[in-house]
Amino acid sequence: MQDAVAAAALEQLLERGLPGLTIRGVAQAAGVAETTVYRRWPTTNHLAAAALVKLAERDNPLPDTGTLETDLEAFLRQIVALLSRRGVLRVVRGAAAMDDDDSSVIAAKAAFFPRRFTNATPLVDRAIARGELPAGTDAFRLIETLVAPAYLRALLVDRPLDEEFIDTSVRFAIAGALADPRTRHPRDD
């Protein structure tokens, strides 16, 4: 049931944007009662967050290429591809513009971004195990550093999300993680 609701919400969200997302429409498309949807997702903001998580899981799977650099390149390339889709970009722009004074907006954003970043931590854990990053590397911060410029460009500036951008973002994220004085470097052991 949860997958059917999230899939229906995602379809409606990409077709109509945040203003066109309704619990009634999602319930009908998923073949469940509205009360069933309300029990799990009390607002359309919560439903939008669930739909975006579904999109990220489906179209942004965690890569495992064998190196940190190529994992981060693949991960960022997927995010850039998502942000390049008109329906996705419209939703991301709508979500960014939502009023943070609304507790359901705060909850929806908290359900999506931290979860996505936390779900990407295995990229960093594997790199630490391979000796590419020092123990204690802040995985959340590394992923945030990697993807934030893509969201900035997609939302606010008219600059390309091209291969040069991806390469530079990956190099900067890795360099930042390696330079973080709070981590324990293997050479210090």
Token duo for residue 167: 């390469």
CATH, domain range 1-58 = 1.10.10.60
The CATH label, of 1.20.1290.10, 1.10.357.10, 2.60.40.10, 3.10.20.30, for the domain at 60-189 is 1.10.357.10
Q: What is the pLDDT of residues 77-107, one digit of tens each?
A: 999 998 888 888 887 787 777 766 767 667 6
**Cα–Cα distance measured from residue 35 to residue 163, given in angstroms and rounded to the nearest whole number:** 46
Domain boundaries, the chain: 1-58, 60-189
This prediction's pTM: 0.80
Q: What is the pLDDT of residue 189?
A: 46
Average pLDDT over every residue of 5-30: 90
